[in-house]
Every structure is written in structure tokens, then in C-alpha cells.
Structure 1
Amino acid sequence: MTIDTPVTTPRNAGTTGSISLVGIGPGHTDHMTTRARAAIAEADVVVGYVTYIKLVADLLDGKEVVRKGMTEELDRAVHALEAARAGKKVALISSGDAGVYGMAGPTYEVLFQAGWTPEDDVMVEIVPGASAINACAALVGAPLTHDFCSVSLSDLLTPWPVIARRLDAAAAADFVVALYNPKSGRRTQQIVQAQALFLRHRRPDTPVAIVKSAYRRRQQIVHTTLDQMAEQEIGMLSTVLIGNSSTFLRAGLMVTPRGYANKYDVDQGFETREGEKAGRSLSSGLLGWIEGVRAEHASGLGLTELARRHRLPADYIEQVLATPDEHEPTEAGAEETEA
């Protein structure tokens, strides 16, 4: 890969600098990790997007501060590397987690373009932080208790067909989905297109939470539904959480069940349902499902009908039918203990 931004990073003999890619969390210092605060305290230079710099302003006394604009990610990384080559300790900050739509990726691209390796004099550390998806989920309830994914609607660097395919696949697979970068002053139709794709697979009344500026001064939370989602106030400081087919809203809280009702009768003191065993795979888990598919196939159902019935590719069904018999692990060998 070629980085268009020039990388001029001469080594200074006898100097050893460092770059800490610091995730500062959602925006309030109460939600920063101890290591994140320490990395900023240790730094000679702090580099970041102007808004993120403001969020940690009380930690920056006596430091060289480099403020960059929203689209200057590569410039931030280049400046950090040049300062580190000069022997300085640099904190390159990202909101949330530096590795989730943050500065970790662009920085490694610049580093590798400049010939850096992990054995280099410049030490690089990633300091993890709570991502927007974690912060927003904590504010609205427990929407991420089951499988989830995130998709950025920004098409500044990613072609829209790629984004649309990911949205459609996530919607069809019944993931809870977090939409990052959902809308801006120029990008107003991406959220509308995302809504249309999700409505192909989800009920119109699917719960949706829109969180703006989580844990920041202008925090705002809106609960709505999928069919009303695009009509709400949404911007670049918003994260949109779309529930799955089981997600519900109750008492102002968005909750996605973990699935205990599949195994336990919640109305009868959480007694194990007939045919199920505590701590073991569901009767409709992998091995039970394979047994059922084999029985259906033996009864005369072909691959096409089995694929349609289970909404899975026919070649996968064929592979499953050819899988050798297996058995659940013995209790002594079982590793799962959650349910």
C-alpha cells in the first residue's frame, strides 16, 4: 500500500521515542482506563483530532499539543512518528478504542510505509479503551447481550456496494447492529439506504436506540423503531443500535435476551425444559440439529428443500450430511459452564 502523505522520519542516534495509541473512551475522564491516563501523563507530545483534544484538556498541562482536523488521520500518524524518531514520547489519542475505527490502523500503515518493524527503536503500544458501542449500550440497557456487529456508513474510503452488502448480510443474519458514522452534513442518504436494507429482513417495530455524544456534555438518547429510524435527528456524533428479532424495549431499556428461554421455563422457576440439559448444548444445537437434518434427508427431503427450510446454502447442508457422527463431550471433558 502507498501512503500519499510524505513520510520523513530520520533516526536520531542515541534517542528512543515511543508512540502510545491511546483509546480515551467515550469522552469523560471517569471512563478512561488507568493506563490511558498514565500514557498521556508520560507523554511529551499529545496528538489528536481537535474534539478529542478538548475532551482531555485537563490532562495536557505542560505538554506539546498537536491538533489535527477530522480528515487528517495520516497527518496525525506521520507527526507522531516524526516526534518519536526525535526521541519524544507521543500519545496519539482516539475516542473510544484506538483499534475500533480509530488511529491504530492508519498509524501502522504509516509505520510500515516508513520501514518500521516491532524491533525498531520506536516502541509502539496500543492502550485499549471503551468503544462507542460499549458506551452507548451501557446507556440504553443491555442490547449487546447476544451476537452483534458494527458497520460504518462512511463511504469516504469504502465503496457503498461493500457497505450495502455488509448491511444486508448483518440484517439477514439477525445480528444486533451498531451503525457508526451514520450521517453527516453531506452524507444524508446512507442512513435511509441502511434502513431500507434492514426492513427487508426485520420487523418495522424492531427497537432502535440512537445515542448522541455518549457520556459527553450534550448527550442525547432517543428510543425509536426501525421504520421510524431515519426520521430522527442523527449526526456524526450519533451511534445507532438496531436490535435483532428478540430485542425488546421495556421500562425505557433496550434488552436483547441471551437465550435462556430456549432451555429453561422462565415462568416455572427456570426449570429445564423437556429434552434439555443444564450446561449442555441445546437439543437444537449443532449435534442435535445435524441429527434432525439427517432424519429429514432420510425421509426424502432433498438438498434444495433442506437448504430452503433451514435458510442455509445447499453445499453446506451437503457437507453436514457427510460429517462423521460425533458425541457431546463427557461431563469431565466439558468446558462450557455458562448455561
Structure 2
Amino acid sequence: MLLFQDFQPLALVATTPTGAQRLQPLCQTSGASLWVPESLNIEQAQNYTGSLKDHIASLWHHHRAFVFCLATGAVVRLIAPLLEDKSRDPAVVVVDEQGKFVISLCSGHQGKAEQLARMIALQLGATPVLTGASAGLGLPGVDILGVPFGWQRGEGDWTGVSAAVARGERVEVMQEAGSTLWQHHLPQGHPFQFGFPKYSATESEIIESQEQPQNPKSHPPLPPLMKGGSQNPNLMPKAKIWISPTQRRFSPESDFPEVQWHPRVLWVGIGCERGTSRALIETAIEQVCQQHHLAESAIAGIATIDIKADEVGLIEVCRERNWPLCIFPADILRGVNVPNPSAVVDKEVGTPSVAEAAAIFAAQSPALLVPKQIFRSPRQNPQGAVTVAIAQSEREYTGRTGQLLLVGTGPGQLDQITPAAQTAISRADVVIGYSLYIDLIAPLLRPGQIVEALPITQERQRAERAIELAQWGLTVAVVSSGDCGIYGMAGLVLEELRAKGWDGKVPGVQVFPGITALQSAASRVGAPLMHDFCAISLSDLLTPWEMIEKRLIAAAQADFVTALYNPRSRTRTEQIATARAIFLKYRKPMTPVALVRSAYRQDEQITLTTLEKLLDAPIDMLTTVLIGNESTGTHGDWMITPRGYLGFESESTGRNSPKSDRQPDG
């Protein structure tokens, strides 16, 4: 259900038994409600009465997404009267009754129907049908570009800019604030041209007839021009995207389409008299933003002194605007250098500044964007006064609770990855992993995702990076081959979280198991793990070799079928020889051994040998070694460890039968 939380509440709709059967598995995996007519007796389904058209109308404004298993034409006729605006309409997805196709029908970008279609297709083993132009180009939609970072959409000709992208025309991007991560993960041949912000009275984005905004903040250098972009003056852009806290006004007569995204980078420091009304606080913020040409939608939150934590007006403003209220004690604010300290304020609350100091501290900025301004109520009753200051942070506030999706991808083939794991990878804002594993899951990646591949030796850096992005508010999938909790990244990520004082809740964590290396290796040679077994890594990078030797001796003595991970590297060659010598003390030389390298991959190699001849075969870090126990045998190309089913006499029949008190098997 965590995977589909962005689409809750989610309604599934079917009118036939076949359609209901097709959608039923999604109830458990997505947490959705399945609606069927009362004439159908379907478990885990809710019945609607009357016409389906009326029922959908009753659900429409209370759900974020609908999945229909109906004819596409029927769905179109059902929802047509309900459609209002793509920025408000719920996502609508259609699944055919055979479960072969999942169609993104309505609100593909802003409603995330395209993403939902991908996720459901992975759950059902179907093909997603995405008709949006940006999806075909491998690009994030212009109108959802800033969603992962919590940016707010501003004014502009969104249809015009999106059309320019679809035509492959140059689109100039002027990014003055917010994360540039998205710029570094665009496909080759993209149409975006990155430039530096310019303010000119001749441009269509003139702000309230002013030539330039007051108090413009200095802008950090933009990243290098991406492949596909161009600085050739002859290649003139046909559209423009502004990414800025500045509120621009575009000329409605212009045939040059422009849009603006507003990263939430503005922290508003507030000081106020006790009992100041919400209306006065809102008016003060609005006027300051207008005077300095700042977008209110770029506000990250409100910052103030802790004695104002119960100020009713402030609480109401933050609740209404969905702004966080950050409070700081006087001794913290006292240590902040401000341009306009006040002895009166210092005497009253214990710090020479509230609004300016709180804004600077919340934004972690060395300077103010807007120095403090004081506003008083024009009426005697109610009385009140507000002081407002604004600082701009380097990193935007996302307003999202981050998530860590710890994913096991199994041996690497897509059909060996669980549907839940595939869906987690597709859904994530960021995918982090070893470069080889990223290459193996490339077909699961979608346009707009941030994909960071780090070398095999940088496991801790991967974990720290994933936690950093999740704490910021992004959904991060950390991929490991095999099972992420067995010699994978899950343990390391959880260790790092614990070391950082994690409360166990934020960021959220979900683990998606995968087929382990020992399981995939065993499946290629038969059934060598049918009895008790263990796994031991021969890598001594993190475990002392003396401890590994103790485990090898114990496993050999106890007659465990043993899987050896990381048996040999270029610099670590003696450990596998030592392991063989230990096992030869307790096992017969003819004990079957399987060497499986890169199971289920194109360069797969399988060798059945014996403990005595173990070192005659090639072994490296991609090899899993399976050493049988005293009863393991081979039959043709198969390795079999008997469980004992055929080894016990039945008292009633005299025939072989398993023990009646055995544990059920998997």
C-alpha cells in the first residue's frame, strides 16, 4: 500500500466477473477499493446500486485515481461529464479484460496517471500504454518537472511550452533557485537550453512595469550545458521555463510561451504582538511579497521565536497555507547577526531580533533577501502589529515525507524481480545502486527519474546519499542484487539510520525482498538446499578472517549444505583454498559442489564438480559456491540433497512416507 499512497483514495471499477478477477489482486497490493454491481458476488469487493454513471459521479471528487476494467469508449462516456481541469481531475487508467494492456487515459502528468499505469502494468505483467508526447521522448513532463522537489506551479502558458517540447523545439530554462538534479538526468538530444537569468524591460515577463526585481539575490552558477542543449545564438528558443521565487507577469498578447515554477525557498521570519489577527499577518506577508516581486507559493514556511508557538493567528495562517511553523529559542536567535537589531525587542523577549534572526536561521542563509518591515492594524480593535523579514535558502523545502525503498532485484533478469520490487523501482524519484545493477534494471526506469550509479566499493556512500535525499523528502529506491537484506544494502542503510538517531518512522522504510544468490544458484543445478543450509561470505573486508574460519569449521562439522559468497577476488585468492581444506576435514572428497557464476544472466556459467576438485574450476566474485552435505548427490546435471521423504517407513502401510510431524515447506 505504501507504493500507491500517492493515489489514495484509489477506486477500482469492474462490471463483469472477468474484470473483477483481473483487478482483485490490486486490492491487496494497492489498498484500493474494488467496486462491482450488486449482481456480482465478489469477495473483497464493494457493491454499487443504480447506474455506474451516477456511482462514479458520487466518487469523482473524493478520489485521486480510478482504474477501470472496461472498454475504453465506455470509460470515456462515463467520465466525460465530470472532467473539469487537468490540474484537478483524478488520474484515470483503463485495463483490458485480458490484462495485456494498461492505458493512461486522463490526467497523465499532473494526476500521475502515466506513473500509475506503469505501476499497475508491472503488478499485472502487462504493457503500459502512454500517449503523452514527453513520455515518447523520454522526458519529464514540463507540468510535473518540479513535483518531486515540492515546487509550486506558477502562471504561464503551460500548454504552449509543453507543445514546444513535444515538437522538439528549443526551450530555454532560467533556473534561479531550487535543485538542479533534474538537469543532470536528461536524455541525449533533449530540447532544453540552460542560460543565466536576465532581467530586462523589453522581455515579456516584466514585473509590474519594473525593469528588474528589487533586491535580486545572487545566483549560483548553473551546471554545464547538457548534451542536446545549445548556446548557439542562431538556435533561438521557442519557449521559456523560469524556475525562481520571483513572481513574473507574462504578457497575454505574447506568442512566446513561458511558464514559471516556484521552488519553496523563502523563509518568512515573523515577530508579532500577542493576539495579532490572522488577517493582519496574511496581509503583511502578501504586501511584502508584492513589494519585492516574490511569489507567495515560493514560501517554505514561517519562522519565529518559541514564545510564539501558541500564537493563534500564526497557527491559523500556517494551517491554512500548509506552511510549517519553525520556532527557535531566544538564545539561538541572539547568536544570529542581523542588520536591524532592536534594544526594545531584546529587553522584551531576550534577543535583539525575532523576524530577521528567525528568517536567517531557518534558511541557513548568511543574509536577508528582505529586511524587516513592520505592519500595524489600521483599526484600534483588534490591535496588532507584525514584523516580517524574508531569507532565501539554498535548498528548497519539499513538504514531503521521504521514503527509502530497499529493493532486492534477484539475479538480474527482469522476470526474476518480484512485481512489488519492480513497482518500487518505477515509482521512486531516485534510484541508487551499483552501476552493474542499474544497467540490469534499465527497462524499469522512467523519464524524469534521478539515477545515481556508484562503484561497487562505495556501499556506505550509497547508503548515506540515499538517506540524505530521503530526509530531504524524496522517495529513494536503493537496489541490491539478490535479496537486499542478505549481504545487501538494507542492513547498511538501517545501520546508518540508527546511527543518525532515526525515530523509526521518518523517513519511511520498506524492504522488498528478492531471490537470493544462493536460491538462484541452487535453482540452476536442481535442489541442493532441500535440507538445513547456511551462507558464509569469504570476504574479510568487514569481518575478521579468524571469525570466518570459525564459521566455516562449525558449518563443516554440523554437515550444513553451505553457500559461499564472495569466494575469490583479484587480490584475495587464498580464502577459498582454506575453506576447501577445512571442509575436506569433515566431508568426503567426492562431496558434490556446484559453482554458479552470474546466474540467469547472459554470461552465466555452471560447473558441477567435487570438493576435491573445487579449485580446478574458475572462481571469482560473481560465483556462488554450493557445497553439499553428506547425503547430497548428483544425477546427470542435477545436484540433489534429500530431505528424507523417501527414507522413513510408514507403520500403517510399510511404504516410505514423510514424518507426520515435519514442518511445512516453502
| TM-score computed with the length of structure 2 as normaliser | 0.39
Q: 2:461 and 2:478 mapped to 1: Cα distance? A: 11
SS, match of residue 98 in structure 1: coil
- Say yes or no: does 1:128 pair with 2:513: yes
Does the CA contact (< 8 Å) of 1:149 and 1:175 recur in 2? Answer: yes
Q: Which residue of 1 aligns with 2:562?
A: 177
Gaps of 5+ in 2: 1-394
> Alpha-carbon deviation of 1:85?
1.6
Of residues 255, 258, 271 in structure 1, which corresponds to 2:640?
A: 255
Q: 1:337 to 1:70 in 2, by over 3 A?
A: closer
- Say yes or no: does 1:161 pair with 2:546: yes
Gaps of 5+ in 1: 1-9, 282-335
Of residues 443, 454, 469 in structure 2, which corresponds to 1:58?
A: 443
SS, match of residue 260 in structure 1: coil
Q: 2:513 and 2:396 mapped to 1: Cα distance? A: 28
Does the CA contact (< 8 Å) of 1:46 and 1:91 recur in 2? Answer: yes
Q: 1:145 and 1:103 mapped to 2: Cα distance? A: 27
Of residues 68, 80, 83 in structure 1, which corresponds to 2:454?
A: 68
User: Which amino acid in 2 is paired with 1:156?
Assistant: L
Does the CA contact (< 8 Å) of 1:23 and 1:96 recur in 2? Answer: yes
User: Which amino acid in 1 is paired with 2:489?
Assistant: M
Alignment deviations for residues 175-206 of structure 1 (CA, whole Å, 9 cap, x no partner)? 00000000010111100000000000000000
- Say yes or no: does 1:36 pair with 2:417: no
Q: Which residue of 1 aligns with 2:354?
A: none
Does the CA contact (< 8 Å) of 2:521 and 2:599 recur in 1? Answer: yes
Q: 2:604 and 2:655 mapped to 1: Cα distance? A: 42
Q: Which residue of 1 aligns with 2:22?
A: none
Q: 2:529 and 2:604 mapped to 1: Cα distance? A: 20
Structure 2 matches for 1:279-290, cutoff 5 A?
Answer: 279-280=660-661
Of residues 501, 515, 540 in structure 2, which corresponds to 1:115?
A: 501
Of residues 205, 212, 223 in structure 1, which corresponds to 2:608?
A: 223
Of residues 271, 291, 301 in structure 1, which corresponds to 2:655?
A: 271
Q: 1:337 to 1:56 in 2, by over 3 A?
A: closer
Q: 2:466 and 2:599 mapped to 1: Cα distance? A: 28
Q: Which residue of 1 aligns with 2:487?
A: 101
Does the CA contact (< 8 Å) of 1:11 and 1:85 recur in 2? Answer: no
Q: 1:89 to 1:259 in 2, by over 3 A?
A: same
Q: Kindly, what percent of the aligned residue pairs are identical?
A: 49
User: Which amino acid in 2 is paired with 1:123?
Assistant: G
User: Which amino acid in 1 is paired with 2:587?
Assistant: R
Q: 1:262 to 1:114 in 2, by over 3 A?
A: same
Does the CA contact (< 8 Å) of 1:178 and 1:242 recur in 2? Answer: yes
User: Which amino acid in 2 is paired with 1:196?
Assistant: A
Q: 1:240 and 1:46 mapped to 2: Cα distance? A: 30
Q: 1:337 to 1:183 in 2, by over 3 A?
A: closer
> Alpha-carbon deviation of 1:251?
1.4
Alignment deviations for residues 105-135 of structure 1 (CA, whole Å, 9 cap, x no partner)? 1101111122112132x11110011000110
Number of equivalences:
268
Of residues 23, 35, 40 in structure 1, which corresponds to 2:408?
A: 23
Does the CA contact (< 8 Å) of 1:18 and 1:88 recur in 2? Answer: yes
Q: 1:83 to 1:243 in 2, by over 3 A?
A: same
- Say yes or no: does 1:87 pair with 2:465: no
Q: Which residue of 2 aligns with 1:244?
A: 629
SS, match of residue 227 in structure 1: coil
Q: 1:88 and 1:278 mapped to 2: Cα distance? A: 52
Larger Rg: 2
User: Which amino acid in 2 is paired with 1:58?
Assistant: P
Does the CA contact (< 8 Å) of 1:15 and 1:85 recur in 2? Answer: no
User: Which amino acid in 2 is paired with 1:47?
Assistant: I
Q: 2:524 and 2:509 mapped to 1: Cα distance? A: 32
Does the CA contact (< 8 Å) of 1:12 and 1:85 recur in 2? Answer: no
Does the CA contact (< 8 Å) of 1:279 and 1:337 recur in 2? Answer: no
Which one is further off, 248-257 or 60-69? 60-69
SS, match of residue 432 in structure 2: strand
SS, match of residue 149 in structure 1: strand
User: Which amino acid in 2 is paired with 1:250?
Assistant: H
> Alpha-carbon deviation of 1:87?
1.4
Structure 2 matches for 1:284-299, cutoff 5 A?
Answer: none
Q: 1:123 to 1:205 in 2, by over 3 A?
A: same
Q: 2:418 and 2:444 mapped to 1: Cα distance? A: 13
> Alpha-carbon deviation of 1:60?
1.8
Q: Which residue of 2 aligns with 1:327?
A: none
- Say yes or no: does 1:204 pair with 2:597: no
Alignment deviations for residues 10-66 of structure 1 (CA, whole Å, 9 cap, x no partner)? 995732110100001111000000100100111010000111111101112321111
Q: 1:142 to 1:119 in 2, by over 3 A?
A: same
Of residues 63, 70, 77 in structure 1, which corresponds to 2:463?
A: 77
Q: 2:654 and 2:399 mapped to 1: Cα distance? A: 66
> Alpha-carbon deviation of 1:95?
0.3
Runs of 4+ in structure 1 off by over 6 angstroms are none
Does the CA contact (< 8 Å) of 1:19 and 1:124 recur in 2? Answer: yes
SS, match of residue 431 in structure 2: strand
Does the CA contact (< 8 Å) of 1:205 and 1:227 recur in 2? Answer: yes
Q: 2:639 and 2:483 mapped to 1: Cα distance? A: 23
Q: 1:226 to 1:51 in 2, by over 3 A?
A: same
Q: Which residue of 2 aligns with 1:314?
A: none
- Say yes or no: does 1:46 pair with 2:431: yes
Q: 2:569 and 2:540 mapped to 1: Cα distance? A: 11
Aligned-residue CA RMSD (Å): 2.0
SS, match of residue 47 in structure 1: strand
| TM-score computed with the length of structure 1 as normaliser | 0.75
SS, match of residue 240 in structure 1: strand
Q: 1:11 to 1:195 in 2, by over 3 A?
A: farther
User: Which amino acid in 2 is paired with 1:247?
Assistant: T
SS, match of residue 571 in structure 2: coil
Does the CA contact (< 8 Å) of 1:182 and 1:238 recur in 2? Answer: yes
Which one is further off, 256-265 or 99-108? 256-265
Alignment deviations for residues 197-237 of structure 1 (CA, whole Å, 9 cap, x no partner)? 00000000000000000001100000000011022100000
Q: Identify the structure with bigger relative contact order (alpha carbons < 8 Å, sequence gap 6+).
A: 1
Alignment deviations for residues 111-169 of structure 1 (CA, whole Å, 9 cap, x no partner)? 1122112132x111100110001100000000000000000000111111100110010
Q: 1:184 and 1:86 mapped to 2: Cα distance? A: 37
